[in-house]
Structure 1
C-alpha cells in the first residue's frame, strides 16, 4: 500500500462508557487520507488515472450544462494556476508573491472560457481497490470501484453528476493510457489533485442529529460527561453535545462507509429508487480533511503546533476539491443490489 501510514489518535473518551446505548450503533469507516502523489492505474487514488479498459468507451455527460454567470475554466489552467501558487508559497518573505509573468498568466486564467455546448468528458474522482478498502464488498468478482463525475453542477442541488463503475482489475489487460479530459470545467474545485491513499479503519457513531431525543438530551448535559469521568475541554461546557458531534461521532474527510455527517439539512431518508431499500453510505468526497472544530481527527503523523486558523490552507485540502462552498458529497448504494442506481447528496 503506498504512503507513509497515518493514524487517527484515539478518541478523547469512550463514548459507549458515557452512553452505553450507542454501542450497537458502532460502524467501521475507512478513512482514505488522500495526500498529493503520483498514483498509477494500479493504485487506489483520488484524482489519479483509472484502470480503464482501452476498448471501453469513456463516459461523457450529455448535460444540460447551464451557465451560472461565471466563465468556465480548463483543467490545464487549473493545474497551471496551482503550480504558480505553490511556487509563490515557497518563496522566502520579502520577495514579490508573483513574478510579472505569473501575474499575466493568472489574469489570463481568471478571464476563463465559454461554457460547453455539448457533451462533457467525465473526470476521475476516486479509484478504490478492495484490497485497500475491504468494506467496499463489490458484487461478484469485482474488486475495483471507480467514481467519476461531470465537473459541472446539476440540479436539484448544486453538485457534480456522478457515475460509478465496478470491475475486476484482473480482467483489464489493455489499459487506456490517455483518458479524455473535458475542455472546460465549472470550477477548479471540481478537478481533484492526484493523491495516493493511506486507508485506515476507524469506529464511528451516528451523527448527533440521528440520535433519539433522550440520547441528545443526555449528551447535552455537562453532568452526564462528569459522571462518566470524561473531561471535555471547557470550551464545550455551554453546549456539551457538540463535544460528541465534533470529536466522538463521525470522522471528517474522505472516507468509505461509516455514518453520515449532517449539518446542511436535517437527516433525510436515502431510499433505493429501484427497490425502496434503505441505502448505505458508500463514499464521502470531502472538501476538507478537518476544520477548526474537528482538529482532533488529524493523524498523529501530521500534528503541528500551528493553530488551524493560521496553518497553510492546503494542509487540510490535499485533493483541492471544493464542493458547495466547503461541504461534502456523500454517495449511497443499495445494500440489496449494488447495481441499482446510486444516490448522492451534499452535506
Structure 2
C-alpha cells in the first residue's frame, strides 16, 4: 500500500513536469524568478539593488536600473499572486504567437523604454514644478509590466471586435479601450502613479507603430539566425517550452492570423470560419483570485480586469457545425 506522502510527491512531480512542458520558456523563467526572489528578498534587499526610481537612475547615474527593474519582486503576497496569474495569462497567449526570443526582447525593450521615459518626465517635472515626491516613485515592475503588456495584447494580439468584462461591473468594454479601464482599476488599488499612465501610453504607442524607429524589431530571418546552431540562443532552443519565431501577426475580426510555431503549444487558428481556437493546456484553471464565474461564450472574467483572456468564438463553432451538416447531407445524397 502506497503511503499518502509518496502519492503526493508523485502528483507534485507530475504537476511540475506538466508545468515545465506546457508553459512557454520565457514566461516560465519570469514566474520562477518572481516567486523565488519574493522569498529571497528576506536575505538580500533586491529592490535596493535593482529598483528603478528617477532619483537613483538619473541623479545618482545608476543607469542599469532602467533595465533591471524587471527583476524586482512584488511587495506583498497578494500582489505576488496577482502578478503571477496576470503575467501567466498574458505570456501563454503572446509568447507562442511571436516566439520566445521576440517575446523576451519585447518585454525587455518596452520596460526599458518605459523606465527611461518615466525618469525623464519625472525629472523634468521636478526641476520645473519642484515635485520632489516624483523622484522616489518606482517604475518598471508590477502593475507597470502588466498594464504595458495588456495594452499590447488588446491592440495587437486580439480581434478588433472583441469585448471584455470586469467582473465587478455589469457592462462589457471594447478591447481597444479596455486598457484604460484597467488603468482606472489599478489607480483605485494603489493610488496615482505617473508610471501607470505612461505604461498604457507606451503600449498604445507601440501598438500603433510609433516606436518602430526607437525600439529594435528583428526580422524573422534574424531570429532564426539567433536560434541556429551557431546562434546565441542555441542552448535554449531545445529546452521545454521554447517557442520558435513565427511570421508577423495579422489582427483581424475573426482572430489573429499567424504562422505555425514549433508545435509544442497550440497556436491561434488562422480563420475562425474554418477552425476553432484551441485553449492551451496549462496547469490550473487559469482563473485569478477575485475572478467571476464568467460564461461559456466569453470565458472566465477577472475581478480586477488587468488579467485578460481570449474569448471563445461562438460564430466559428456554429459555422463549423453548419458546414459539417451540409457535408453529411451531400454524402447522403451521393449514397
Question: If the length of structure 2 is used for normalisation, what is the TM-score?
Answer: 0.23
Q: Between Structure 1 and Structure 2, which shows a larger proportion of helix residues?
A: 2
TM-score, reference length from structure 1: 0.22
